[in-house]
A = this chain, B = another copy of it.
């Protein structure tokens, strides 16, 4: 077996999920993620934990959902019982076609997801971690050769996470102590309130309240957003290529929007509900193992030299215990990304903390 697969499994089991003897583990495996699943199973065994393996196939989901007529049963008891008795849920993505379920009507998919709402909540109550095994289909989505994509994934995943967590702690401290963030790029000048919120040092481990591998971002929940922001990183939203999104905020809410490609998709998202017009997240990408965009939010939003904002739902983890603020609520959480490697800076309370991708505690930083 490729030693990088073994290392990936080790990071997932030990650093990310912190699996211990007696833990009840549900391992969800994509159709082409078999090899990583085998390596993970060995380590789950070595730790003395208990394993149930489920199969996550877009083709099976599609066949089931298209076959089904009428309402979906709410939270089927067997699936619910499995998740409620699990301590850890690991998701290893990796199929043969990222568009496998592309012809399932959005209403059907949403109806299925809504009917499984309590199961999803129960899953989020476990020590869950999401990762991917590099597959040819994901390489294709990233517009990369398979070999290059493998390198890309392992560069992103096989980090010195302890050291990265320490560096990210600097940014968390700045955001925790700050009240206002200002982001400036060539086409962006945006201010957001962050007072009273707590930043999450998302270091790819449940010990850091972080559930993605790779991760490598620090994020908080902004409010009272004012100004304009331009997102120059292309992405696929609802199956469509969206580029050059530009949003104008007043009093925390989007009042104007435009996009160079598929503007209609942005409009649809904004129309979802009241919360979809407000920001749920400000995230600072700090994983320098990720050095190119691959049209996958698992990687793109963690890339060093990027900042992302999400329209919609905010995370509870950004609200300290006892906070009277309410997290922005929405059915959506849509991340959009800006490259900040050039002609850009971020201020917290009037002080520049990042310029052209370099942080204030790093060599080469200029105020």
Contacts and interface: CB of A to CB of B under 8 A. Distances in A.
A82 B52 contact: yes
Main secondary structure of the interface of A (DSSP, over half): helix
B70 A42 contact: no
A53 to B, nearest CB: 4
A31 interface: yes
Nearest to A89: B78
B57 A37 contact: yes
Given A29-B55, A55-B55, A57-B53, A66 B42 contact: yes
Contacts of A307: none
Interface string A96-140: 000000000000000000000000000000000000000000000
A74 to B, nearest CB: 10
A133 to B, nearest CB: 13
Interface size of A as a range: 35 or more
Interface string A30-65: 010010011101111110101111111101110111
Contact of A63 (B38, B79, B81): B38
Contacts of A77: 24, 85
Given A38-B59, A38-B60, A46 B24 contact: no
A86 interface: yes
A73 interface: yes
A320 interface: no
Given A50-B79, A85-B78, A45 B67 contact: yes
A76 interface: yes
A48 B69 contact: yes
A267 interface: no
A66 B38 CA distance: 11
Interface of A: 22, 24, 26, 29, 31, 34, 37-39, 41-46, 48, 50-57, 59-61, 63-70, 73, 76-86
